[in-house]
A and B are shown apart, each in its own frame.
Chain A
Amino acid sequence: MIALRNVRFAYTNEPVLDVPYLRIDEGAHHLLLGPSGSGKTTLLHVLTGLQRPDRGTVMIGEQDLYDLSEGARDTFRGRHIGIVFQQFHLVQALTVVQNLMLAPSMAGLPADAHRARSLLGALGIAEKARAYPDELSQGQRQRVAIARALMNKPPLLIADEPTSALDDSTAEAVADLLLNAADREGATLVVATHDARIAHRFEHRLALPLVSTEASLENE
Chain B
Amino acid sequence: MSLLQLSLAYLRRRPFGTVLNVVLLALGLATIVVLLLFSAQVERNLSANSEGIDVVIGAKGSPLQLILSSVYHVDSPTGNIPVTEAEALMQNTMVAAAIPLALGDSYRGYRIVGSTVDYLDLYDAKLDAGAPWSTTREVVLGAQVAAETGLALGDELVSAHGLSEGGATHDDVPLTVVGLLAPNGTVLDRLILTSVETVWAVHSDHSADDAHHDEDGEHRDGEHHGDAHHEEDGEHGGHGDDDHDHGAHDGTVPTATAASTPPSTSGAAAEPPAVPVVSTQAALPGGIAPPTGAPGEPSSAERQYTAVLLTYASPMAAVMFPRMVNAETNLLAAAPAVETQRLLSLLGVGLDALRLFGIVLIIAAALGLGIALYNAMRDRRYDLAVMRSLGARRRTLVGHALLEGTLLASMGTVLGLFLGHGAASALGAATAGTRTPVPLSGLTFVPEEFALIALMLGLGIVAALIPAIQAYRTDIARLLAQG
- A binding-site residues for B, Cβ under 8 Å: 41-42, 45, 48, 50-51, 70-71, 74-75, 77-79, 83, 85-87, 89, 91-94, 98, 101-103, 105-108, 111, 148, 152, 160-161
Do A74 and B483 have beta carbons less than 8 Å apart? Answer: no
A79 neighbours in B (Cβ, 8 Å): 391
Closest to A77 in B: B391
Query: Which of A85, A98, A101, A108 counts the most B-chain CB atoms under 10 A from its CB?
Result: A85
Which residue in A50, A78, A91 is a CB contact (below 8 Å) of B476? A50
Alpha-carbon gap, A93 to B379, bound state (A): 11
Closest to B8 in A: A93
Which residue in B2, B393, B483 is a CB contact (below 8 Å) of A85? B483
A160 neighbours in B (Cβ, 8 Å): 483
- Given contacts A92-B13, A105-B1, whether A71 and B477 have CB atoms under 8 Å apart is no
Which residue in B5, B6, B390 is a CB contact (below 8 Å) of A107? B390
B481 neighbours in A (Cβ, 8 Å): 41-42, 45
Which residue in A41, A85, A94 is a CB contact (below 8 Å) of B9? A94
Alpha-carbon gap, A106 to B395, bound state (A): 11
> Which A-B residue pairs are the 8 nearest by beta carbons?
A78-B391, A107-B391, A106-B390, A106-B392, A93-B13, A101-B1, A71-B393, A105-B1
Closest to B389 in A: A83
Interface residues of B in 1-36 (CB under 8 A from A): 1-2, 5-6, 9-10, 12-13
Closest to A45 in B: B477
B382 neighbours in A (Cβ, 8 Å): 87, 89
Closest to B384 in A: A91
Alpha-carbon gap, A103 to B6, bound state (A): 12
Q: Say if the beta carbon of B388 comes within 8 Å of chain A.
A: yes
Do B395 and A71 have beta carbons less than 8 Å apart? Answer: yes
B329 neighbours in A (Cβ, 8 Å): none
Do A85 and B13 have beta carbons less than 8 Å apart? Answer: no
Do B394 and A93 have beta carbons less than 8 Å apart? Answer: no
Do A48 and B395 have beta carbons less than 8 Å apart? Answer: no
A74 neighbours in B (Cβ, 8 Å): 388, 391-394
Do B393 and A94 have beta carbons less than 8 Å apart? Answer: no
Q: Say if the beta carbon of B446 comes within 8 Å of chain A.
A: no
Interface residues of B in 345-389 (CB under 8 A from A): 380, 382-383, 385-389
Do A103 and B9 have beta carbons less than 8 Å apart? Answer: no
Q: Say if the beta carbon of B480 comes within 8 Å of chain A.
A: yes
B5 neighbours in A (Cβ, 8 Å): 98
Q: Categorize the interface residue count of chain B.
A: 20 to 34
Query: Which of B2, B389, B394 counts the most A-chain CB atoms under 10 A from its CB?
Result: B389
Alpha-carbon gap, A106 to B393, bound state (A): 8
- Given contacts A92-B13, A106-B396, whether A75 and B480 have CB atoms under 8 Å apart is no
Closest to B390 in A: A106
Closest approach, in angstroms, between the C-beta of A11 and any C-beta of chain B? 10
Closest approach, in angstroms, between the C-beta of A61 and any C-beta of chain B? 16
Do B6 and A94 have beta carbons less than 8 Å apart? Answer: yes
Closest approach, in angstroms, between the C-beta of B407 and any C-beta of chain A? 14
Do B1 and A77 have beta carbons less than 8 Å apart? Answer: no
Alpha-carbon gap, A83 to B383, bound state (A): 14
**9 more A-B residue pairs beyond the given contacts A94-B1, A106-B391, with a C-beta to C-beta distance below 8 A:** A41-B480, A50-B388, A71-B395, A78-B391, A85-B389, A85-B483, A92-B383, A107-B390, A111-B1
A48 neighbours in B (Cβ, 8 Å): 389
Do B483 and A71 have beta carbons less than 8 Å apart? Answer: no
Do B386 and A85 have beta carbons less than 8 Å apart? Answer: yes
Alpha-carbon gap, A88 to B334, bound state (A): 80
Do A93 and B1 have beta carbons less than 8 Å apart? Answer: no
Alpha-carbon gap, A89 to B389, bound state (A): 11
Closest approach, in angstroms, between the C-beta of A77 and any C-beta of chain B? 6
The 21 listed contacts between A and B (C-beta, < 8 Å) are: A41-B481, A45-B477, A50-B388, A50-B480, A51-B477, A74-B393, A77-B389, A77-B391, A78-B389, A78-B392, A89-B385, A93-B380, A98-B1, A102-B1, A106-B391, A106-B392, A107-B390, A108-B391, A111-B1, A152-B391, A161-B483
Closest approach, in angstroms, between the C-beta of B17 and any C-beta of chain A? 13
Do A89 and B2 have beta carbons less than 8 Å apart? Answer: no
Closest approach, in angstroms, between the C-beta of A4 and any C-beta of chain B? 17
- Given contacts A85-B386, A102-B387, whether A93 and B12 have CB atoms under 8 Å apart is yes
Alpha-carbon gap, A102 to B6, bound state (A): 9
B10 neighbours in A (Cβ, 8 Å): 93
Do B386 and A89 have beta carbons less than 8 Å apart? Answer: yes
Closest to A151 in B: B390
Do B387 and A70 have beta carbons less than 8 Å apart? Answer: no
Closest to B385 in A: A89
B388 neighbours in A (Cβ, 8 Å): 50, 74
Closest approach, in angstroms, between the C-beta of B396 and any C-beta of chain A? 7
Which residue in A51, A70, A87, A101 is a CB contact (below 8 Å) of B393? A70
A70 neighbours in B (Cβ, 8 Å): 393-394
Do B1 and A50 have beta carbons less than 8 Å apart? Answer: no
Do A91 and B386 have beta carbons less than 8 Å apart? Answer: yes
Query: Which of A78, A89, A103 counts the most B-chain CB atoms under 10 A from its CB?
Result: A89
B390 neighbours in A (Cβ, 8 Å): 78, 102-103, 106-107, 148
Closest approach, in angstroms, between the C-beta of A69 and any C-beta of chain B? 9
B6 neighbours in A (Cβ, 8 Å): 93-94, 102, 105
Closest approach, in angstroms, between the C-beta of A131 and any C-beta of chain B? 14
A51 neighbours in B (Cβ, 8 Å): 477
Interface residues of B in 108-145 (CB under 8 A from A): none
